[in-house]
Structure 1
Amino acid sequence: MASLLYVCVRPERGAAEAEHASFQRALGVAELDQLDLVADPLSDEVLDRHDGFVIGGSPFNVTDAVKTPLQQRVESDLERIAARSLAGETAAFFTCFGIGIVTRMLGGALTLAHPESTRATEIRTTDAAFADPVFGPSAPLLSVFTAHKESAAAVPPGATLLATNEACPVQAYRVGERLYATQFHPEPSPQDFADRMTFYRNNGYFDAAEFGAVEAEILAAQDVGGEDLLRRFALTFG
């Protein structure tokens, strides 16, 4: 069985390739298998072959009023990964768009009331996070990158809140022992995140007229700690 699989849900090819490289570096693995879910459906063979899954971000939103057949299929495939993880048969780390998939699956609500622009922000771990193998060593504070429009309105049923802040109360949670979901992006370095901005400068995550200032702020970010979470996820479940 192969260890970890990066699941791409970005239609933008350049952004997808860069995100794969970011995850590979952050996880600390020499090679990282990948599945472009935008191009290829999730097969049973791929689902069975991996110990763990890391799911990247996407310009899709679970709250989108109109969804293409592609987006509907992508969401369905991500639910299959989450269901397998909830059953304890694999481990999964969902990021950004993915936390919406898991929240909906658990019967939780999503909201547009807590958006975060493209930036580095500080989050606080909860008391429950201290004993968690992935989040515990990063307690009580860490800096991460955000860029999202929707979020969980509250911790969904059955989940354990691991991290929060005032801007977005549900920053990360765990379900069972093997499913993690974060609203933030744990994998990019400051340069990675600045490069990603070029693909989404007109998607409403920041004022396109302020691109230079936002980019400079991202590049100046210090001690961003999301990569440590992924490294520990890989060591624990890979």
Structure 2
Amino acid sequence: MAQRRILVFQHHPAEHLGRFLPLFDAHGLVPVTVQLDQGDAVPDLSGFDGLWVLGGPQQVWQEQQYPWLVTEKAVIRSAVRDLGLPFFGLCLGHQLLAEALGGEVGPSKLPEVGILPVDLTEDGAAHALFSGLGPVMTCVQGHGAEVSRLPPGAISLARSPACGVQAMQAGRRAFSLQFHMELTSEMIDACLKLPEYKADFDAMLGEDGLRDFIVTNRHRAPQFEADAERILGNWVGIAFG
């Protein structure tokens, strides 16, 4: 199996590849993680076969607080638009892709927190990225911002009542998801210790709802793992097939 090097932008130690990590190995993908929040420099893109951008507690518009966001958006733009690198973004990575390519991101009218359904659009239901998955996916949500306008030429592949762009294609091999497929139970436990996330989950779910969320997430772990495996396999087929 050919080995392919994937550059991974990480924005917080608690939000890493998670359940995708062993799946990377199974598909011959070698992650090279750059921790932008820790001050890591961005390497030359020419040494990589793809780019993944993960979630984080930051917002795309917080460039003064996190100056490296300016560089990150420029790198994403170059990777997708100029180099045509295969791309995959999750949550913050989804929003960064949209803004980097000329879309708009803003605060959500209704933040989504918890385990919630997402509907594939007509384009999404027919797309190879979601092959083998049903028209409705149940997934982990935790966002207070959303893509409010698609980049030119991009298409929405999934939506929910509160968010019209839950998944997106923005280039021949560039895809992103607003929802989380990478979060293991251990990662969620770590994220809930972060003030930025804990406040949102407490406000939206309450104490009983938060407890139910944690239990339900553990119960649904086999389904989430199967969905992640399917999505990654589909992405690899599109990116390198």
TM-score (norm 1): 0.81
What displacement does 1:88 show?
5.0
Aligned counterpart, 2:75: 80
8 A Cα contact 1:185 1:226, kept in partner: no
Identify unmatched segments of 5+ residues in structure 2.
none
8 A Cα contact 2:166 2:178, kept in partner: yes
Distance 2:193 2:74 in 1: 26
What displacement does 1:89 show?
2.8
Identify unmatched segments of 5+ residues in structure 1.
none
What displacement does 1:201 show?
5.3
What displacement does 1:35 show?
2.1
Aligned residue type for 1:220:
H
Q: For residues 75 and 235 of structure 1, do their structure 2 counterparts lie closer, same or farther at Cα, with a shift above 3 Å needed? A: farther
Q: Deviations over 1:4-38 (max 9, x none)?
A: 42524323x3x14xx23432134444653322223
Aligned counterpart, 2:54: 56
Aligned residue type for 1:10:
H
Root-mean-square deviation (Å): 2.7
8 A Cα contact 2:54 2:93, kept in partner: yes
Structure 2 residue 38 is matched with structure 1 residue 43:
no
8 A Cα contact 1:128 1:162, kept in partner: yes
Structure 2 residue 198 is matched with structure 1 residue 197:
no
Aligned residue type for 2:106:
T
- Give the percent of matched residue pairs that are identical in Structure 1 and Structure 2: 22
- Match of 2:71, SS? helix
Distance 2:60 2:196 in 1: 19
- Match of 2:21, SS? helix
Larger CA deviation: 122-131 vs 211-220: 211-220
Within a 5 Å distance, the mapping from 1:86-235 to structure 2 comes to 86-87=81-82, 89-112=84-107, 113-117=109-113, 119-189=114-184, 191-200=185-194, 203=197, 204-207=199-202, 210=207, 211-221=210-220, 223-224=223-224, 225-235=227-237
TM-score (norm 2): 0.80
Which structure dedicates a bigger proportion of its chain to strand?
2
Aligned counterpart, 1:236: 238
